[in-house]
Amino acid sequence: MKLREKIESGRFVVTAELGPPKSCNGSVIRKKTAHFRKGISAVNITDNQTAIVRLSSIASAKIVLEEGLEPIIQLTCRDRNRIAIQSDLLGAAALDIENVLCLTGDYQTFGNHPEAKPVFDLDSVQLIATARMMSDGFFLSGEKMKTAPDFFIGGGANPFADPLDFRVLRLAKKIRAGAQFIQTQPVFDLDRFNEWMHGVRELGLHEQTTILAGVMPVKSVKALLYMKADVPGMRIHEDYIRRMERAEEPKEEGVRIAVQIIQELRKIEGVKGIHLMPLLWESITPRILEESGLMERE
Amino acid sequence: MNKNRLLSPIVTLERKKPTRLERFLSRVMLFGEDCIKVPLFRCQHCGECILSHTAFICSQRCPKRSRNGPCGGTGENGTCEVYPERKCIWYLIYRRAKLLNRISLLKRTESIHNWNLEKTSAWLNVFRKRIEPPVIFLRKRDRD
C-alpha cells in the first residue's frame, strides 16, 4: 500500500528519515534502508541537510525505490530557482517518485560551503503551491503540460519556534497552498507541542491535512545539549536533559525517552503518525517501533 | 485557471523600449521612494512592495527573503537563525501586526517575486497596474 493510500485510509503511519552520504557511494543508502524494511511506510531523503553537500535527494530516492521502499524526497528552496525546482520535480515524477516534502532549507552559512549564493527564489509556501500547480497540469508560467505529474505534497512545521500563533497561521497557509501531509520538527517538549496542537484543532486544520509528529532518538546527553544550543528553533525540556545526564546507559535511556514520547503523541487528537529521525542511528528504528507497539500493525 | 495565483498576471518583459523621458521620470520616482522608504523601512528595493501586508516592516530584510512568514529557525525570544544577534523579521512583523490589528493581512499567500521588478519603483508599479495597490486602511470587519 502506498503512503498516500495509507494516509487517506486514516491509518496511523510511520515515516523515517535517511540522510544520503557525503560521497557517491550508493551502497550506503542500500545498507541504511535495511533498518527501515518493517513498520515504516515511507523514507524521507534529506536534501543536503544543514547545507552540507551530499548525494542528491532524487538520486538517493531512486536507489531507495529500487530497494523496494517508498521514498519521500525533500526539496528545499535554498539551492534552486523556479526553473530548477520545476525541472527537478518533473525529473522526480519521471522516476516514479511522487512524495515531495517542500521546505525552505537551512541557510548555507551552517554548512560546509558558507560562501555560497543563497537562492530562495521561492519560499516554502510558494514551493508547495508550485508542486500543487504542477499536479494540476500547469507550469508556473501558466503554460499547460502535456502529461501532468501527480505529487503527494508535504510541508514542514516547527511547533517550537516563536511566535506560536504565527506557526499555526503558517500551517493554515501551507494547507491552503496544497500540503497534504505535514512533518514536524522533533518533539522534545510535549507541553509546547500540545499548545500548538490546540491551536491547530481550534482552526480544524488537523482535519484538512495529516500531521506526522517528529521523534528523534538520541544516543547521549551531548546530542541534546548540542541541539539545544546550536540547532535554531529547537526546544528541549529540562527533564530529558536531566534524565540523559543521570542515566548509566544513555543509549537505553534514549530509547526509553523516544518510546515514551511516541506513546504520549499517539494520545493527542489530530496526530496521525510519527516521523522518526534516527540521525546516525538508523539501526535503532526496529527496536523503537517494537517497544512503542507500532510494529504489529503491519 | 489556478486558484493560487503565484505569478503576477501581467506580462513581465517590456516589449516597448521606454523613451528617455519615461526613463528619467522612473528614476526620479525611484529616488523619491528611496528617500522615504530606505530610512523609514530599510527598503530592499524588491519593486513589489508588500509593506502594507506586513505591518509596515519590510519582510525582504529576512536573509531567506521569505514573503510568506518565518522559516522554522526562529529561536527563543524570536532570534534569527542566520544572524542570532538580530531579531527574526517575521517575529517583529507578527508583534506589530497584532498591535495594529492587521493579522488578517498576514494570512494572504503572497505571489512569487517577479525579478524583473527588482530595483524599480513600487509606487510607479502600482500606478502602472503592475502590482496590487497597498492596503493602507483596513476595514473594521477585516481587522483581527
**pLDDT score recorded for residue B132:** 86
Say if CB A286 and CB A227 are below 8 A apart. Answer: no
| Integer Cα distance of A116 and A110 in angstroms | 11
- Has residue A294 got a pLDDT over 70? yes
DSSP code of residue A146: S
DSSP code of residue A143: P
Residue A12, chain B, CB below 8 Å: the answer is no
Nearest to A232 among B64, B81, B113 (CB): B81
| Integer Cα distance of A294 and A298 in angstroms | 8
How close, in Å, is residue B21 to chain A by CA atoms? 32
Q: Using CA coordinates, name the residue in chain B closest to A157.
A: B72
Sign of CA dihedral A170, A172, A174, A176: negative
Confidence at A231, pLDDT banded by 50, 70, 90: confident
| B22-35 pLDDT tens trace | 889 889 999 999 99
Sign of CA dihedral B38, B43, B46, B47: negative
The cell for B43 is: 527598503
This model of the complex carries an ipTM of 0.91
Mutate to test the interface with A, among B11, B71, B114 (most CBs of A within 10 A): B71
Residue A115 neighbours by CB distance under 10 Å:
6
Sign of CA dihedral A239, A242, A245, A247: negative
Q: Using CA coordinates, name the residue in chain A closest to B76.
A: A162
Chain B residues within 8 A of A186 when measuring between CB atoms: none
Phi-psi region for residue B101, left (φ > 0), alpha (ψ -120 to 50) or beta? left
Residue B72, chain A, CB below 8 Å: the answer is yes
Mutate to test the interface with A, among B7, B68, B85, B115 (most CBs of A within 10 A): B68
Asked if A166 lies within 8 A of B76 by C-beta distance, the reply is no
Phi, psi angle pair for A111, to nearest 5°: -100, -155
How close, in Å, is residue A158 to chain B by CA atoms? 5
**pLDDT score recorded for residue B13:** 57
**pLDDT score recorded for residue B2:** 39
Mean per-residue pLDDT, A58-64: 97
Residue A184, chain B, CB below 8 Å: the answer is no
| B38-91 pLDDT tens trace | 999 999 999 999 999 999 999 999 999 999 999 999 988 899 999 999 999 999
Percent of chain B with pLDDT over 70: 90
In terms of pLDDT, which residue wins out, A284 or B2?
Answer: A284
**pLDDT score recorded for residue A232:** 85
Residue A43 neighbours by CB distance under 10 Å:
28
**pLDDT score recorded for residue A230:** 86
Lookup result for grid cell 521546505: A103
Say if CB A33 and CB A21 are below 8 A apart. Answer: no
Q: Exposure of A33 by Cβ count < 10 A (0-12 exposed, 13-18 middle, 19+ buried)?
A: buried
Mean per-residue pLDDT, A254-267: 95
**Bridging pattern class, strands A152-157 and A99-103:** parallel
